[in-house]
Every structure is written in structure tokens, then in C-alpha cells.
Amino acid sequence: MVSINEDELKKLVIQRLLEVDIPRKDAEVIADVLVFADLRGVHSHGVLRVEHYVNRIKSGGMNRDPELKVEMFKPSIGLVDAQGGAGHVTTRFATAEAIKVAGTEGLCMMGIRNNSHCGALAYYVQMALNAGMAAMVMVNTDACVVPFGGRQAFFGTNPFAFGFPGSRESILLDMATSEVAFGKIFYAREKEQPIPAGWAVDDKGNPTTDPNAAKSLFPFGGAKGYGINIMVEALTGLMIGGVFGPHLTKMYGDLEKSRDLSNFILVIDPAVFGGEAYLETTQRMIDELHNQAPAEGFERVMIPGEIENRTMQKSRRDGISIPQGVYEYLAG
């Protein structure tokens, strides 16, 4: 492992992207999103993805310079056609527009179609939290999760993130509807470590702990997770993009093709229900949760996003740890 500070890591990412003619302003956005994930310890969505993005750009599967605009269907409902552009850039653009609309309308539902991989969804929810807004962001992904009771992949990891602001701390949940994000499998391969039982199946549909044999993932929580997986697909691929599961372009195949991913973004101004009292009420709930007696083996009861925030503080103090191979690629 190599330890590096966030500014240096961003510079390495930007330089790699400039080499394949990504505009600097867009390279800076991509680097910001990726390093945000690494700072939080979510390395599966961090800078290890750069090599793949570079390969897809070189192959023609990512539009270097889309012309982004919002088409508003209702005062609080809009759509962005990403035109196959970098998902980090298009999703930040759409989220920023949704925050503006929610500031005047109270809420905004924004869709993105024809998108590419956009990195950690927590980044976009954090944008809303910084503006004092609540948010939910979802995206569908290509088939890599077996349906409950099946043995072959049909839906993607279909992650979603949710955030709600408090006066001092905020709730920030970011999770895949698979047992894990597939990026964690790639991270285990990079570190040459086995994966826990219950994460994945091999090409015959049998459970495996070998990251190199992992072919498809389990949905989290059995049938319940499978149901939420379908919910995300409905609000993204079915409602916004018209492309779902096995019909999406694979992330690590067909590099010359656009991904056709779809995002659902919902931003809400909680103040519409009675001013900003919700900030103190949320903080009181968080404080009361922290004061709950912890179970054996736990330091205390925490809220979603708290571990990642602690990791971010440590990473900014001590540096970000990334695999040697990833560093060598970026620095090479």
C-alpha cells in the first residue's frame, strides 16, 4: 500500500485524464468524486477506476465533451441527457440543478439518461446536505447480481444513497442493493485477498470466497434486498432510461459502446414543512442514538455515514492508502 495526500492524488488522476483529452474542468470533477470516495475509505469507487475510464475513453465508449442541459417537464421535474459523457460530470451537473430547483419549488425530481459510471453516490447526496437539503440518488447498473432464487446475473448492484441534514451532523447512507459493490471484489483482487462467504457466486452459480472466481453477486438481505434492487431498477431504467439489467452495456466489456445508465435524483428542502426546526430535531435524534447503550463488542451506536466521516478525517490527517499497483498506474 502507498500513502498519499488528497491533493497529490487528484493531480495524478487529472494528469491521466488529460492524456486522453478530457477537458481539464471535467477531469477536476472526476478526480474530486473519485478521491472523495478514497478519503471515506470506499476504495471500490475511488481512483482504482481510472484505468478503466481511460480504456473506455480510448475505445470510444465515453463522450469527452457532451452538451449538458436540463429539459423541465414540470416546475419540479427535469431530465438531463448525458449523451454518454463522464457520469461524474453529468451527475454533478444534474444534482446542482436539482438543488437550485428545490430551493424555489421545495423539491425536485431529476432524471439522467444515457449516463456513464458516476462513482460514489454519496458525493452527490453530500452536495445536497451542504445546501441544507435532503436527497436520494439512485442508479441502475449492468447485470451482475443473481435474482433471489436464481443462479445467473440479471440486475446490477443498483445502489442508492440517502441523506438528511442535522444542525451539527447529517445522516448519509450509501449502499448497493447487492451484498457488496462489485468494486469490492476488484479491490480484493488487487490486494490478493479472499472475499467473505455470502458475497458472490462463481460461473456455475456456486458460492465462492475466491475474488478471481467471483462471477455474480448476491442481493443483500435475501428476498427483501432483491425487492429493493427491483425498486431501484423501476425508478431508473424503467421510468427514465428504458433500458434495464441485462440490456445495459457491461462496464468491463464492449468498451466502445455507451453504458446507457439512468439516474434518479430527488432533492427535498425539509424547511417547507415548518422552517429549519428539523435541523435541531434531527440532531437531537442523532444525539439520543449516540447515547443508547451499545451492544457487546460495539463502541457506541452510530448513524449511517459516521464511520466514513471518521475515515475521511483520518485520511486528511495521515494520507490516503491505495494499492501499490494503482499508484504505479497513476504515477506512470
Q: Name which of 315, 286, 318, 280 is nearest 302 in CA terms.
A: 286
Q: Which of 43, 45, 88, 117 is catalytic?
A: 117
- 3-class secondary-structure state, position 258: coil
Spatial separation of the C-alpha atoms in residues 327 and 123, rounded to whole Å: 22
Within a 10 A sphere around the Cβ of 102, how many other Cβ atoms?
Answer: 24
| The amino acid at 109 | M
At 16, which helix (H) or strand (E)?
Answer: helix 6-18
Strands 77-81 and 320-322, bridge-based pairing: unpaired
All three cell numbers of 249, joined, read 452495456
Output the nine-digit C-alpha cell for 42.
470506499
If you search the block for the grid coordinates 439522467, which residue do you land on? Answer: 112
Cα 220 from chain centre: 17
**Cβ neighbours, 10 Å, residue 302:** 15
Q: How is the chain split among helix, strand and coil, in percent rounded to 5?
A: 45, 20, 40
- Identify whether 117 is a catalytic site residue: yes
Parallel, antiparallel or unpaired: strands 77-81 and 107-115: parallel
d(CA 114, CA 262): 6
* Exposed / middle / buried, residue 75 (Cβ in 10 Å: 0-12, 13-18, 19+): exposed
Residues in the chain: 332
Q: Which residues are catalytic?
A: 117
